[in-house]
Amino acid sequence: MPTDRPVALDEYPIHQAPLSMKHVVTGDRNAYDRCIFQVFDHEGRAVLITGLGVYPNSGVIDAYATLRLGGELHAVRASDALPEDRMTLRVGPLSITVDTPLKQVTLQCDPDSTDPTALSFDLRWTACFPAVWEPHHVQRRGDRLTLEGRRFVQAGQPAGWIRAGGEELRVDPTRWTGTRDRSWGVRPLPGEDGGRAAEEHRPEGFHWLWIPVRFDDRFLMVIVQEDADGHRTLNEALQVHPEGSGVHDTQLGWPRAEIHYRPGTRHPETAVLHLTDPVHGPRELGVEVLASSPLAVGAGYPPAVDWQHGSWQGRGWVDRRVYDLGEPSAHPMAAFGVTDHSARFTFDGRIGHGIFEHGSFGRHDPSGFADYDSLAP
């Protein structure tokens, strides 16, 4: 009995290789294809993060949602066997519906019939600016390719409702902002054994900034990845105007960040990013952090200890829980993962809102961090 048949996507002239759309070109177990959305209010009260991923060579599909509300983080995670129908983006209670590609997406989390206080939501995410490519992202450990990803980023306005902890939040698009990232390629999944390369090429440090910002009249995107000595392996600073405006995208030079950390931590509170307009010269992007959601708690990003993306949990797995973020010592690994900070930004006299995604681990000479135990004075 044949087990490998064409799938619905094979009807369309979209193939990139002489394979069924059921398969990816690479046999790497770490192949992935996923998205993340951030939805947050402008006062810093709530940060919702949700995403979905498929892992074709592991046969897994999973999704997650977390809501930072006060000192609590409400989380929903779901995982299942990857179905042949890749057009239906649903896992357990979580779903993403592409209403109009690159224009509008519906994000939903069904209520829990046994717990009315559990996280649920129904949101329409509408783009305000065209999606733009991020730099091609490649990382090696020794001679081994460990990460190669293609990504696009976009900013929009969300509308709808979110419920958690017995409270309902009305998401008004004039008072909330949405950002998103869509990526695919290969990146390490749980259970990856790096062998000699992992043993002999341990990173001394890693410094990361991913900053999408929505203003009324423009979208700014800044990306920085640096090694321990400040060597930059990823760099982008781009200004994007609304579709149909007739204004070309503008590169804003080599961004340099001055970050003020909370004393005794690597938790950013404010920052200034120094940018350069090719016509008008130096520009500053001011940052004021409003609320923070660590991706290593609830959302499944490394080094999460209870669940990570792409890990097989069995069929029909759903997990709901509430984390206490008021006690940082309860989540010691969160500091070694990336955190999404909702933030208020200033640029050219305008106020905007976006995500200040930050991670700094180990030595980073430009910041004055000497090793993994080094913290801000």
Can you give the CATH number for the domain in which 295 is found? 2.40.370.10
pLDDT digits (tens, 9 = 90+) for 51-94: 999 999 999 999 999 999 999 999 999 999 999 888 899 999 99
161 located within any domain: yes
123 located within any domain: yes
Find all residues with CB under 8 Å of 329, minimum gap 6, and list them: none
pLDDT digits (tens, 9 = 90+) for 289-309: 999 999 999 999 999 999 999
Report which secondary-structure segment, H or E, holds 99.
strand 94-100
Distances (CA, A) of 161 to 32, 113, 188: 30, 18, 34
pLDDT digits (tens, 9 = 90+) for 198-212: 778 888 999 999 999
* DSSP conformation class of 333: G
End-to-end Cα separation, the chain, in angstroms: 67
The predicted structure's pLDDT at residue 241: 95
pLDDT at 375 over 90: yes
Distances (CA, A) of 28 to 150, 234, 251, 293: 16, 23, 34, 31
376 located within any domain: no
pLDDT band at 5 (very low <50, low <70, confident <90, very high): confident
* DSSP conformation class of 332: G
pTM value is 0.96
For 95, half-sphere exposure in the C-beta direction (CA atoms, 13 angstrom radius) is 15
Percent of the chain with pLDDT over 90: 89
- Top pLDDT among 3 and 273 is at 273
- Top pLDDT among 141 and 193 is at 141
Amino acid at 204: E
| 29 touches 8 (CB < 8 A) | no
How does the average pLDDT of the chain come out, rounded? Answer: 95
Residue 27 burial (10 A CB sphere; 0-12, 13-18, 19+) = exposed
pLDDT at 313 over 90: yes
137 located within any domain: yes
Please give the structure tokens belonging to residue 126.
């509408």
Backbone angles phi, psi at 277, to 5 degrees: -80, 130
Q: Cα(315)–Cα(298) distance, rounded to whole angstroms?
A: 20
| 275 touches 286 (CB < 8 A) | no
211 located within any domain: yes
Please give the structure tokens belonging to residue 170.
């009305």
The predicted structure's pLDDT at residue 265: 96
Find all residues with CB under 8 Å of 202, minimum gap 6, and list them: none
What total of structural domains would you count in the chain?
Answer: 1
* DSSP conformation class of 115: B
Q: Cα(128)–Cα(7) distance, rounded to whole angstroms?
A: 34
The predicted structure's pLDDT at residue 2: 55
Task: List the one residue out of 230, 233, 234, 186 whose CA is nearest residue 204.
Answer: 230
The predicted structure's pLDDT at residue 101: 97
Q: Per this entry, what is the length of the chain?
A: 377
Q: 282: cis peptide before it, omega within 30°?
A: no
- Top pLDDT among 5 and 359 is at 359
56 located within any domain: yes
Q: Cα(97)–Cα(260) distance, rounded to whole angstroms?
A: 39
pLDDT at 155 over 60: yes
125 located within any domain: yes
Strand order of the sheet with strand 339-347? 250-251, 232-240, 219-227, 205-214, 350-362, 339-347, 281-294, 268-277, 256-261
Amino acid at 162: I
Q: Cα(290)–Cα(156) distance, rounded to whole angstroms?
A: 19
| 205 touches 230 (CB < 8 A) | no
Q: Cα(77)–Cα(63) distance, rounded to whole angstroms?
A: 6
The predicted structure's pLDDT at residue 20: 92
3 located within any domain: no
pLDDT band at 1 (very low <50, low <70, confident <90, very high): very low
The predicted structure's pLDDT at residue 3: 65
| 329 touches 82 (CB < 8 A) | no
Report which secondary-structure segment, H or E, holds 200.
helix 195-200
Q: Cα(30)–Cα(365) distance, rounded to whole angstroms?
A: 31
The predicted structure's pLDDT at residue 356: 98
Backbone angles phi, psi at 44, to 5 degrees: 85, 25
- The residue segments making up the domain with residue 50 are 8-190+197-367
Average confidence (pLDDT) over 338-347 = 98
